[in-house]
Structure 1
């Protein structure tokens, strides 16, 4: 039986943030980089990006963006022995537990590859979705609601634009422009 490629809807993108104990940044980062390199081979992993604290600041918060083919792959990763070993190895280096949250909406549309496309490409594709959606909804709801305050008409239009972008336009555009978005 042939299987089809995973659809865009199945992909899972997570933002992980954690605080490193003061003075432990170098040891933590070395352990994290080793773990990230090893974790790229975990089944269903489609990308990992590390966000370091800005140099010259007192910030000790690290961010990790992880992408998986599906929720099943994500769950398997976080339940794996490899992940639990990493947590045990770094427990004394971090303050508390990592905050793991799923990415939704526009922030996740561009996360399907190993790295995000350049911002100018994301901005252009977003504009290609926003412009026609705003034009369509403002023309459709504007005239019938002209007697309402402008701010209320704008609020209604932007709710409709947001829904249109999130569930229809952006998934279609990012799929359609995927080869161009990931091309270096």
Structure 2
């Protein structure tokens, strides 16, 4: 039972992005900047670390947004439960107060507003998060992108000599290998932008 659960967990593992809003004492701004850089440097040495960054809400603002991303829940937990991070957080407790935390995973990232856009250096531009659409709407939009592309590919590849006579496994392997990057880099971004008003209808932005 435990082995099966572990296998299911590994299959379902997906990257997690954590965005933290902190109120920083403006008198300690230079020290806070050094403290943030130290935290990023510590996180980079942990397995599963995918990136991190920070930005102020506006020049001179007390509100700072800090973001980090790990490959899955286990690697994220290892960082967040580490002694190094605990000491680092305590070192900034007098001038950086945590006020809000958001975690985003999986396909929902396609339907969010941009939580973090990486800028040159180590900064991240944070934007107010839109609410996540219902999962049934997410499924509909993904299908609307996938079905016509799959249909088109099946039709076009039918003209490739020898394709129709291939066994099922190599046929599907070839189709999915070609379709996946097209879906990820072009089709999904396009359909989510096109259907965003419908996806977010009746949902209020989180404050």
TM-score, normalised on structure 2?
0.49
Q: Which runs of 5+ in 1 are unaligned?
A: 1-5, 118-157
Report Cα offsets for 1:112-144 as digits up to 9, x if no partner: xx9659xxxxxxxxxxxxxxxxxxxxxxxxxxx
Please give the alpha-carbon distance, in whole angstroms, between the structure 1 residues aligned to 2:50 and 2:138.
27
Q: Shift of residue 80 of structure 1?
A: 0.3
Report Cα offsets for 1:56-105 as digits up to 9, x if no partner: x4x2111112111101111111100111011111111123x352211252
* Structure 2 residue aligned with 1:129: none
* Structure of greater relative contact order (alpha carbons < 8 Å, 6+ residues apart): 1
* Structure 2 residue aligned with 1:49: 53
Q: Does 1:10 align with 2:14?
A: yes
* Structure 2 residue aligned with 1:24: 28
Which runs of at least 4 in structure 1 moved beyond 6 Å after TM superposition? Answer: 108-111
The question of whether the paired residues in 2 share the 8 Å contact of 1:13 and 1:108 is answered with no
Q: Which runs of 5+ in 2 are unaligned?
A: 1-9, 120-133, 147-179, 190-207
Please say which structure displays the higher CA radius of gyration.
2
Q: Shift of residue 163 of structure 1?
A: 3.8
Q: Does 1:70 align with 2:72?
A: yes
Q: Count matched residues.
A: 129
RMSD (Å), alpha carbons? 4.0
Please give the alpha-carbon distance, in whole angstroms, between the structure 2 residues aligned to 1:108 and 1:41.
30
TM-score, normalised on structure 1?
0.54
